[in-house]
Amino acid sequence: MKATIVLIADTTTENYGRKCILEANRIGNIGFEMVRLPHHISLKQPFKVPNLEAVESIFDEYAKTVNALTVPMLQLDCFRSNVFGYESGCMSIRAESTSQLITMQQNLNALIEAKLGSCPAEYDSDYVFHMTIAIGGAPYKNYEKAYQVMKKHDYHYDFHFNRLGLLYYDDDKIRPGTYFCYKIADL
């Protein structure tokens, strides 16, 4: 099993993200896989956990130390992805790597390591903060088609994130239908 701890978007940001999902699907027929989760910025990518209770305890402790924040967004990105075990795509809005986000991420990683030991995750050393709009569900060419239209929009918005989320993955391969937002804390 795996887990992730994320900042969850407020209602206005969530609604904006859902409009982006719909537009991307209408243009590229890429599906709605991303609607399984609330819009979020990950503070750590999925990492293997010994048990859900241990991570829930870390989540509860960490939630008491962080506050809601506004994050400047920069641009739409599109890249190839095989996160579900097949060649597809991912479209996301890149977030500015603010000192607040970096500090939140460092504090979370330190807490996880203090409680569980080393818990490596993909992109630990070079993570780019972002809010995913679409992932999986269609070949990359469909993503590229949607991206060519959608990249013309202005994505320079300040989005608010006012909750913390614990995402749970019952399957280490993160297959569709095996993950969900298990717990939410207001910040």
So what's the pLDDT on residue 135?
93
Domain count, the chain: 1
Alpha helices in the chain (DSSP H): 11-28, 52-63, 99-116, 140-150
Classify residue 60 by its DSSP letter. H
Confidence label for 116 from pLDDT (cuts 50, 70 and 90): very high
Percent of the chain with pLDDT over 90: 83
User: What average pLDDT does the segment 93-106 reach?
Assistant: 97
Confidence label for 83 from pLDDT (cuts 50, 70 and 90): confident
Return the axis-axis angle of helices 99-116 and 52-63, rounded to nearest 10°: 140
pLDDT tens-digit map of 150-180: 999 999 999 999 999 999 998 777 777 778 9
So what's the pLDDT on residue 178?
77
Confidence label for 123 from pLDDT (cuts 50, 70 and 90): confident
d(CA 88, CA 82): 6
So what's the pLDDT on residue 163?
98
* Boundaries of domain holding 43: 2-186
Classify residue 15 by its DSSP letter. H
CATH number of the domain to which 181 belongs: 3.90.1140.10
In sequence order, the 6+-apart residues with CB closer than 8 A to the CB of 115 are 54, 57, 58
Whether residue 146 is predicted with pLDDT greater than 90 in this model: the reply is yes
Predicted TM-score (pTM) of the model is: 0.94
